[in-house]
């Protein structure tokens, strides 16, 4: 017997959602981000997380409190009641949600680890098109500027 697994994919309307408690919005043009979503899908056996590329139609309408720029800057995790985590905080929350993630989520309890994780995430996000992406990332949106302001 096969288990039906449904998730929102690039090009699909993300306005309605799948009724899951969490929605993870990622950069669908980044290979690193796409690889991360494969791990999330494999670890999400209870189907708690809807995974949506930020380029899917309806994402901004569905989450109007998230500025458009935020999708280019960081991974977004939206939870019950609209609570939103970004970047390293989103990764930390994902690890807490997923049973396999709890095996490593303790790392964020180490003093200064949240600060280090946040700095690393910001650096990585600015450089993700150069790290492990290859030629396809040359087609990233021209208005995306990852420099610190």
74 domain-assigned: yes
15 domain-assigned: no
101 domain-assigned: yes
Q: What is the tens place of the pLDDT at every residue in 48-90?
A: 999 999 999 899 999 999 999 999 889 999 999 999 999 989 9
Rounded-to-10 torsion of CA 44, 108, 114, 40: -10
Please, which residues have CB within 8 angstroms of residue 67's CB and are 6 or more apart in sequence? none
Going by pLDDT thresholds of 50, 70 and 90, the confidence category of residue 5 is very low
Q: Which backbone phi and psi does 28 adopt, to 5 degrees?
A: -70, -5
Which domain does 110 fall in, by range? 22-139
How many independent structural domains does the chain possess?
1
1 domain-assigned: no
32 domain-assigned: yes
43 domain-assigned: yes
146 domain-assigned: no
pLDDT of residue 10: 43
pLDDT of residue 25: 96
Can you give the three-state secondary structure of 45-56, one letter per residue?
A: CCCCEEEEECCC
128 domain-assigned: yes
Q: What is the tens place of the pLDDT at every residue in 109-131?
A: 888 888 888 888 888 888 877 76
């Amino acid at each position: 017997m096969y288990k039906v697994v449904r998730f929102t994919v690039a090009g699909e309307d993300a306005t309605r959602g799948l009724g899951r408690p969490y929605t993870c919005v990622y950069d669908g043009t980044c290979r690193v981000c796409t690889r991360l979503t494969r791990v999330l899908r494999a670890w999400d056996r209870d189907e708690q997380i809807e995974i949506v590329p930020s380029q899917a139609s309806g994402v901004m309408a569905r989450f109007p409190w998230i500025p458009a720029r935020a999708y280019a800057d960081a991974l977004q995790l939206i939870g019950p009641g609209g609570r939103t985590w970004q970047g390293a905080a989103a990764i930390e929350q994902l690890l807490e949600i997923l049973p396999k993630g709890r095996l490593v989520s303790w790392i964020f309890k180490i003093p200064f680890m949240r600060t280090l994780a946040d700095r690393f995430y910001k650096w990585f996000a600015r450089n993700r098109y150069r790290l492990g992406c290859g030629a396809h990332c040359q087609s990233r949106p021209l208005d995306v500027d990852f420099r610190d302001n």
